């Protein structure tokens, strides 16, 4: 989905891509209070924001180091359940649980690099990418095709004493214009600055860049996930 623009006046109309796009930030509102039983069991489960075996292993090791230093788990250690969840034992003494969780919240864990991702704003045409995005050598040919339809009102006025009637009509003019189309070579870009330099050589607008990035991903040249917001 790509955002666009449009204008109309006097019967003439020009439209580029889609005029409307929307997003629901949270999707729903919870109106009933959810019971909190975090401190009631023998353990809690820490869920990471993203699924990654390397990250969950690093978090587990950091928690276990803290447990050994403070004896927070009473000899028990944290265990990774899958690539996203870590089960952490709570102190048997209820009075120590809040302090133990406060220490867990303040821990600093060096996580692995974020996955390569390109974020596209469908309303504004903005394109944002992180430093993990890699571009393989590829050739790109991209041309713009625009269709403009113009309507001009005209009036047919009969001669005097002819008995005819005044008739209103319209004269339509349709213009099709295609630009670009030259094949350009994009070199390999292993770093973000190289990728930006390679894409700037295309001289494409943000809207065209979205289509080019999607095509590069489909061809296997863009090593990244494209997310449209």
Q: Is the pLDDT of residue 42 over 50?
A: yes
**pLDDT grade, residue 209 (50/70/90)?**
confident
What's the pTM?
0.50
Task: Give the CA angle between residues 29, 33, 36 to the nearest 5°.
Answer: 120
Mean pLDDT of 32-53: 82
pLDDT at 56: 92
**64 φ, ψ to 5°?**
-65, -35
Q: Is the pLDDT of residue 162 over 60?
A: yes
Q: Is the pLDDT of residue 130 over 70?
A: yes
Residue 21's SS3 state is coil
Q: State the CB neighbour count (10 A cutoff) for residue 27.
A: 6
Residues 186 and 139: their CA atoms lie apart, in Å, by 6
Distance between start and end Cα atoms, the chain: 9
Q: What does the mean pLDDT of the chain come to?
A: 77
Largest CA distance in the chain: 110
Choose the weakest-confidence range: 76-85, 92-101, 147-156.
Answer: 147-156
**pLDDT grade, residue 85 (50/70/90)?**
very high
pLDDT digits (tens, 9 = 90+) for 144-159: 655 555 556 777 777 6
pLDDT at 68: 84
**pLDDT grade, residue 1 (50/70/90)?**
very low
């Amino acid at each position: 989905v790509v955002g666009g623009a449009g204008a109309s006046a006097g019967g003439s109309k020009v439209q580029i891509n889609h005029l409307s796009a929307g997003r629901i930030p949270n999707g729903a509102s919870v109106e009933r209070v959810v019971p909190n039983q975090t401190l009631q069991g023998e353990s809690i489960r820490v869920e990471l924001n993203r699924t990654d075996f390397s990250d969950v292993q690093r978090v587990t090791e950091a928690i276990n180091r803290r447990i050994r230093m403070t004896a927070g788990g009473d000899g028990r250690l944290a265990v990774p359940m899958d690539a996203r969840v870590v089960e952490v034992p709570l102190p048997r003494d209820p009075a120590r649980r809040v302090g133990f969780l406060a220490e867990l919240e303040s821990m600093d864990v060096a996580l692995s690099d974020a996955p390569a991702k390109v974020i596209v704003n469908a309303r504004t045409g903005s394109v944002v990418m992180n430093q993990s995005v890699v571009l393989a050598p590829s050739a790109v040919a991209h041309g713009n095709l625009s269709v403009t339809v113009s309507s001009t009102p005209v009036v047919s006025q009969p001669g005097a004493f002819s008995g005819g009637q005044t008739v209103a009509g319209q004269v339509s003019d349709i213009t099709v214009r295609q630009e670009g189309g030259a094949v350009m070579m994009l070199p390999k870009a292993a770093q973000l600055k190289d990728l930006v330099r390679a894409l700037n050589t295309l001289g494409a607008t943000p809207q065209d860049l979205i289509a080019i990035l999607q095509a590069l991903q489909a061809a296997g040249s863009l090593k990244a996930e494209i997310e449209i917001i």
